[in-house]
Amino acid sequence: SENAGNRPPAVAASSKDPVPTSAAKRKSETPAPGSEVGAKPAKRPSRPTPPAPVVSSAAAAKAAAARQTPQPRVPVQPPPAALVRSATFPSRPGVGDLEAQIDVANEELMTLTEANEGLQQRLEAEKLLYTKELDELRSALQAEKAAREAEARAHQETKQVLSEAQAESERRATELRAQKTELEARCAALTATESELRQNKAVLEATVAARELDLETLAARGRAAEELRREMHETISELKGNIRVFCRVRPQVGAAAERSLVRIPSGQLEPMALDLVGPGGAEEGGATAAKGAPRKVDTQRFKFDRVFGEGASQAEIFHEVSQLTQSALDGYKVCIFAYGQTGSGKTFTMEGLRGDYDKRGVVPRAAEQMFTTAAELKLIGWTYEFSASFLEIYNDELRDLLPAGAEAKGKASVPAKLDIKHAGGEVHVPNLRSVPVTDAEQLSRLMDAATRVRATSATKMNEHSSRSHYIFRMRLVGKNSKTGAETDGELNLVDLAGSERTKDSGVTGDAMKEASAINLSLTSLGSVISAIAAKSAHVPFRDSKLTHFLQTALSGSSKTLMFVNVSPSEKHHQESLSSLRFAAKVNNTETGKAEKKGKAAAGGAH
């Protein structure tokens, strides 16, 4: 080891180094500079120190032996050369030699002791070193051991984790195998379903082909049925007459409600008669009157094509009207009037309540019917083109309620006066705008526009509307691509001005003019209808703008319906009576056979 290498060879040095002479030794007691041993105080040991057990030098043993048995003559090993030289010094030869020997031995002993001490120290140092080294090694070993143990633990943990992972993956594998099996089963099922579906599809395709054939047959039958319906409608019209009158009694509402003057005889599913009790007769009660003949002298009975009581709904009304509006699609000219005093329900019947779907009147319902029926008739080859006009007649003047730009919101200009012209035996109004319409919603927007225009020409809308006639006209032109048939129908829905007579004889100016214009046109309407019904040679169409405008629509080949609207209240008795009389007169007229305009279908039924 390094320590061993560094260790000085103390023993060998002591035996090889020249032993100092006794003189030198003595001299050395007063140390001389440069003396080798003089560096340390050469002290004679008072007592010979027993040699350390570790020192086993031969010189030490000899020295010990010499101390125990000091025999002068005892032959000792030959003295070293120095000793021999000193022996030649003249002194007391025996003692001197011994003393010298003792000195030498002592010197040797001291040297040895010193060496021993050095060795001891070195030994201690080395021991310390080794101990330290050992401690270091031990702690290193412990650290190593701890590291190994930690490593082992880590390994153990890793092993645990790995075995868990393995278990998990085995579980997943099992799961996946199960899923695979399931999917395979499903796949097989789907394949089976697919082939089943293919079979079904084939069957269905065959069925569809068969159905398509059926559909063709049905469409042909539908056309035949449609022809039959039209024929039957014509027959019914012939039987009923082409001028029909319906009476509608408006309900009394609110606090103003009083006993009704109107009795509708019971026992009829579709009432056709009405009794108007005289003033003051309301207290008589409806029950007796309803039994049959009116008892009071001033109670009068009127007969109409239909009578609608106070409870009749808008839907019921339209149900009765729909046959007629339908015939406009068949190519007829149709006119529906609402006649009656102001407040009797004309506008309610024709237009209905805006914004209340159930209470919408004949105009919006007829429009809906046109579009719905046209869509149905399309299936059997019909295509229709609709166009609408709105106008009013005020003070015997015609005004377009739908002038160009009327649909745009904002202040509309007061409509211009229109003239009625004759061309080719037909009446027509140049400049009366006719707007093509494709659906009920568009038509409803046009109605709103017409209402706005109408309002601009009047400061008091309600008064104005009761003093003018309002006409909605729709033209319906149809063509059948399968049969080649064509139709050209027209629907005129007219909300007439109030029929009330102006009682105040003092009325002058505008009011007088208005009243006489209304009176003239309504009287003229009655006369025209009567003349048509009587097949009179002369029909006074030109007596009023109203009848003139409606000439074509009212002539013998048309269908006319008049609603007479009456109020059942006592205070309106006189007006109700006069309305009912007017309507009864119109109703009792016989009319000619209606003809529809248009080209008959090839091989048509009529």
Ligand X SMILES: Nc1ncnc2c1ncn2[C@@H]1O[C@H](COP(=O)(O)OP(=O)(O)O)[C@@H](O)[C@H]1O
Cβ(582)–Cβ(340) below 8 Å: no
Cβ proximity to ligand X: between 346 and 473 the closer is 346
Q: Is position 576 annotated in a ligand binding site?
A: no
Please tell me the total number of residues recorded for the chain in this structure: 606
| Least distance (Å) between residue 248 CB and ligand X | 7
Q: Which stretch binds ligand X (CB under 6 A): 71-79, 258-266, 344-352, 507-515?
A: 344-352
Q: Is position 352 annotated in a ligand binding site?
A: no
> Residues 213 to 272: which contact ligand X by CB under 6 A?
250-251
DSSP, res 534: T
Q: Copy the structure tokens of residue 450.
A: 């017409």
CB atoms within 10 A of CB 126: 17
Report d(CA 566, CA 576) in Å as an integer. 5
Give 492's strand partners: 335, 473
Q: Is position 489 annotated in a ligand binding site?
A: no
Cβ(408)–Cβ(445) below 8 Å: no
Q: Is position 340 annotated in a ligand binding site?
A: yes
3-state secondary structure at position 320: helix
| Least distance (Å) between residue 308 CB and ligand X | 8
Cβ(242)–Cβ(594) below 8 Å: yes
Q: Is position 345 annotated in a ligand binding site?
A: yes
- Residue 47, phi then psi, degrees to nearest 5: -140, 130
Cβ proximity to Mg ion: between 126 and 463 the closer is 463
- Residue 565's binding partner, choosing from Mg ion, ligand X, none, with beta-carbon cut-off 5 to 8 A by kind? ligand X
Is residue 509 within a helix (H) or strand (E), and if so which, with residue range? helix 509-533
Q: Which stretch binds ligand X (CB under 6 A): 65-73, 152-160, 335-343, 427-435?
A: 335-343
| Least distance (Å) between residue 465 CB and Mg ion | 5
Q: Which stretch binds ligand X (CB under 6 A): 2-10, 29-37, 234-242, 342-350?
A: 342-350
| Least distance (Å) between residue 462 CB and ligand X | 8
Q: Copy the structure tokens of residue 489.
A: 């129908």
- Of 246, 304, 337, 348, which one interacts with ligand X (CB under 6 A)? 348
Q: Does 343 bind ligand X (CB under 6 A)?
A: yes
Cβ proximity to Mg ion: between 331 and 361 the closer is 361
Q: Is position 91 annotated in a ligand binding site?
A: no
Report d(CA 354, CA 581) in Å as an integer. 31
Q: Which stretch binds ligand X (CB under 6 A): 57-65, 95-103, 339-347, 414-422?
A: 339-347
Query: Which DSSP string do the residues of 111-126 spell out, in sequence order?
Result: HHHHHHHHHHHHHHHH
Q: Which stretch binds ligand X (CB under 6 A): 137-145, 338-346, 369-377, 502-510?
A: 338-346
DSSP, res 352: B
Q: How far is CA 333 from CA 124, 162, 493, 597, in A?
A: 145, 96, 11, 8
Cβ proximity to ligand X: between 250 and 475 the closer is 250
> Residues 526 to 565: which contact ligand X by CB under 6 A?
565
Angle at 549 between CA 334 and CA 590, to 5 degrees: 50
The residue with its CB nearest to ligand X is: 345
- Of 113, 325, 344, 468, which one interacts with ligand X (CB under 6 A)? 344
> What is the identity of the amino acid at 17?
D
121 HSE (CA, 13 A, CB side): 8
Report d(CA 271, CA 265) in Å as an integer. 7
Cβ proximity to ligand X: between 250 and 473 the closer is 250
Q: Is position 341 annotated in a ligand binding site?
A: yes
| Least distance (Å) between residue 247 CB and ligand X | 12
> What is the identity of the amino acid at 548?
H
Q: How far is CA 379 from CA 126, 383, 480, in A?
A: 124, 9, 10
Q: Does 333 bind ligand X (CB under 6 A)?
A: no
| Least distance (Å) between residue 565 CB and Mg ion | 9
Cβ(499)–Cβ(341) below 8 Å: yes
Q: How far is CA 508 from CA 438, 505, 514, in A?
A: 46, 8, 10
| Least distance (Å) between residue 574 CB and ligand X | 16
Angle at 591 between CA 586 and CA 594, to 5 degrees: 130
- Residue 28's binding partner, choosing from ligand X, Mg ion, none, with beta-carbon cut-off 5 to 8 A by kind? none
Cβ proximity to ligand X: between 448 and 463 the closer is 463
- Of 346, 454, 467, 545, which one interacts with ligand X (CB under 6 A)? 346
Cβ proximity to ligand X: between 347 and 544 the closer is 347
Q: Copy the structure tokens of residue 398.
A: 């015609």
Contact string (CB under 6 A) for ligand X, positions 461-500, x = contact: -----x----------------------------------
| Least distance (Å) between residue 343 CB and ligand X | 5
3-state secondary structure at position 484: coil
Cβ(379)–Cβ(220) below 8 Å: no
| Least distance (Å) between residue 344 CB and ligand X | 4
- Of 294, 345, 415, 568, which one interacts with ligand X (CB under 6 A)? 345
| Least distance (Å) between residue 301 CB and ligand X | 22
- Residue 343's binding partner, choosing from Mg ion, ligand X, none, with beta-carbon cut-off 5 to 8 A by kind? ligand X
| Least distance (Å) between residue 340 CB and ligand X | 5
Residue 355: left (phi > 0), alpha (psi -120 to 50), or beta? left
Kindly list the residues in this chain that would bind Mg ion in the complex (CB under 5 A): 346-347
Report d(CA 366, CA 393) in Å as an integer. 22
Q: Is position 343 annotated in a ligand binding site?
A: yes
Report d(CA 207, CA 202) in Å as an integer. 9
**Number of residues forming the site for ligand X (CB under 6 A):** 12
User: Which amino acids are annotated as binding site for ATP, given as ranges?
Assistant: 340-347
| Chain positions contacting ligand X, by CB under 6 A | 250-251, 340, 342-348, 466, 565
User: Which amino acids are annotated as binding site, given as ranges?
Assistant: 340-347
